[in-house]
Amino acid sequence: MVHNRKKDHFIAVLLIGLILFSCGKITAQETSNPAIVISKDLKWSERMALSILKRDPKAWQIDNNEKTKWDYKLGLVMTSFDKLYKETNNPLYANYIKDYAETVINSSGEILNYKLEDYNIDNINAGKMLFDLYARTKEERYLTAIKTLKKQLETHPRTNSGGFWHKKIYPNQMWLDGLYMGTPFYARYTAEFEGGQHFDDIAKQFEQIHLHTLDQKTGLLFHAWDESKQMDWANKVTGTSPNFWSRSIGWYMMALVDVLDYMPKDHPKRKELIQYLNEIAKAVAKYQDSTGLWYQVTDAGNKEGNYLEASGSEMFVYAFAKGVNQGYLPASYKKLAEKGFNGIITKLITVDADGEIHITQVCASAGLGGNPYRDGSYEYYIKEKIKTDNSHGLGPFILAALELKK
């Protein structure tokens, strides 16, 4: 009897434990919001935003993150939600941004997992969401965070020619990615808080990238440049990396059209940036596939292993459409943008029975150097992980759809 009571007690405790564990596990893994209804009659921009909200009620859950963090990719998605909120006035989108911001910026304005001394240009990007958030809430923590990020730019290491290093751990290097991470934030800050006094310095970042990464043969830009020419991936004569990666060129083009939002029309460098945009748009247009999309390695077409990649295609569509809308590019690029967007929704978007949409064929990440070492070869770019609903493909989809009013 005693033995049986002990056994029964053990079983009861075990069952209770399993129930509690199960409940806790369900709570921890709640990653969908069944209350979200996604009508097929909505524009694509809202269908994607609502799909994100349905899958990931908290923005930090995007990319299957297990906890919140200050992150450039989440900043990209928040930028798209900010623009969508301005277009729709739907508080769902503003609240999504605010809820995320409250998890990464405390009441004193300190940014979670951020270290200024890391001098990582990626860390600036999420700061773009804070300008409008501060304007809406008047919470000082967001202004404090904005000023902290600006302090990083004031002391950020530079090449001898004045370009921001991509990261302190990548000395003497400029990557195309870094132009989007740093310059739109810098441009808005100097426009709103400094009377525009640093637009020459912002233009210098584009000048250095144009000077050092432009390939005269194709008109495209190499992914990165090492001023020291010491990296194994760097050309020993030019310092450039060996290949063209569509998303990196997309980052550069988005940076151009977004910086121009803030640069005064009479600024002497404005025409130069518009010229850069026209030059890279012309080059990129030559490599648009018949589907309307672009390949992961921009100039390699259907070479074995190459694939039509979502995020780079979306970024090109966004830059083309915005460039035309703002008068920077000839009207013909609107047709190319439309063709590109049609390619995205017919070839890369999947739709669930309940209306939830997904973006496929997104390169999860790509870079140079580091450990394990990334050599910038063709084989490297085509072998990086390909994901569905990766943040790199979510934000630019919404941005492109908004510019095309889709």
Task: Tell me which residues are annotated as active site.
Answer: 177
Q: Cis before residue 372, ω within 30 degrees of 0?
A: yes
* Run of H or E residues at 225: strand 224-226
**Whole-angstrom distance, CA of residue 372 vs CA of residue 89:** 45
**Whole-angstrom distance, CA of residue 217 vs CA of residue 234:** 18
Q: Hey, what are 162's tokens? A: 């004045």
**Whole-angstrom distance, CA of residue 183 vs CA of residue 196:** 13
Strand partners for 170: 167
DSSP SS3 for 349: strand
Kindly give the interhelix angle for 391-403 and 246-259, rounded to the nearest 10 degrees.
Answer: 50
What is each CA distance from 46 to 70, 99, 250, 272, in whole angstroms? Answer: 24, 19, 22, 35
* Residue 95 neighbours by CB under 8 Å, 6+ apart: none
- Burial 191-214, CB ≥16 within 10 A → b, else e: beeeebebbebbbbbbbbbbebbb
Residue 163 DSSP label: P
**Whole-angstrom distance, CA of residue 51 vs CA of residue 38:** 7
Which residue do the tokens 């002391």 mark? 155
* Residue 269 neighbours by CB under 8 Å, 6+ apart: 199, 200, 203, 263
**Whole-angstrom distance, CA of residue 191 vs CA of residue 389:** 34
Which amino acid appears at position 51 of this protein?
S
**Whole-angstrom distance, CA of residue 180 vs CA of residue 122:** 9
**Whole-angstrom distance, CA of residue 31 vs CA of residue 65:** 11
User: Is residue 81 within 8 Å of residue 116, measured between CB atoms?
Assistant: no
What is each CA distance from 306 to 10, 70, 396, in whole angstroms? Answer: 58, 32, 21
Residue 37 DSSP label: -
